[in-house]
Structure 1
């Protein structure tokens, strides 16, 4: 995204190149936004499921039902949608990527002026 934004700045007079790079940036950003938004929502829903299971009347329930509820709580506790098993897909991650892209762009702009 940083290189494409830099490409837009370099080809500002050429409408075709600018539009092509801008279209690519919008596509990449929207795809990243969708993954991060759904990852954040799924993580939040799993936390709500854990709280709902904990809040149900499990005391005095049959042992089989208690085990099933414990399994549900354990599964919901560990759920986080990640990108490649490395970084969680969340709105915070999206903002980190956009901030890092901006930082790299400013770094490139600094060298362009020299």
Structure 2
């Protein structure tokens, strides 16, 4: 399988639109996750500073209870360190999991793009190679289907918890936005949390949508290949590939589709809650 799963030979930008291809996204995901992680740390620090300026007493990263006397400087310092480390660990873990997931999804998309290009490149003026090249496409496609099934099997339960957490956090945040009035710092916190949660859902679902669309385009590429007038054995193989090339949808917990429709549903619920 490893010899098939390469993407270094693919273009990183679309020749027509200039937008990033999936191969281009693979190169950018890791540095992008690092930048987002640093932005997350920076927003927490900014929020902490604003709470210190706008509030009274000793500010915290989060409102919480500790079995310590926070009026004591040593206890207060310990609490701040614990909250800071907790924020860093949670943010880093979330971005790491999200980065790994979208990278693996992007790898699957690149392989589906390679299969599409290979199918369209099969020509009848090469009759001796037609069946051989089609067999390579079918084999590659079977590897990709197996890869996507393993990806779904591995990450479906992993994503279910964060998806529920994000939806619950958005609901509580929306409720807080309604009840909080005239508190500028709290509104900043609400905005940061909402933006971060929506970004996570948007990013994961966007890449999931790309995988679903690319899996369906394999069928279109097989149909658009040069099969008219080809040998019957070749046509039967094309029919077989069309029949197995169905859209593949990733899910969270086998319940929530990792697709753009999920993002629209969350946005609708959030808008109705706020309005």
Residue 206 of structure 2: which of 19, 29, 37 is its match? 37
- Counterpart in the other structure of 1:92: 261
Task: Give 2:119's aligned residue.
Answer: none
What corresponds to 2:249 in structure 1? Answer: 80
User: What TM-score comes out, normalization by structure 2 length?
Assistant: 0.33
User: What's 2:240 paired with?
Assistant: 70
Alignment match, 1:14: 183
Q: Distance in 2 between matches of 1:105 and 1:3?
A: 11
What is the TM-score when the length of structure 1 is the normalising length? 0.70
Residues 61 and 12 of structure 1, relative CA distance in 2, 3 Å threshold: farther
Structure 1 stretches of 4+ with a deviation exceeding 6 A read: none
Tell me the CA shift for residue 8 of structure 1. Answer: 2.3
The Cα RMSD (Å) is 2.7
Q: Distance in 2 between matches of 1:71 and 1:47?
A: 11
Report deviation, 1:71: 5.2
For structure 1, which runs of at least 5 residues remain unmatched after alignment? 107-114
Contact 1:2–1:101, Cα closer than 8 Å, also in 2: yes
**Structure 2 gap ranges (5+):** 1-169
Q: 1:62 Cα shift?
A: 5.9
Relative contact order (alpha carbons < 8 A, sep ≥ 6): 1 or 2 greater? 1
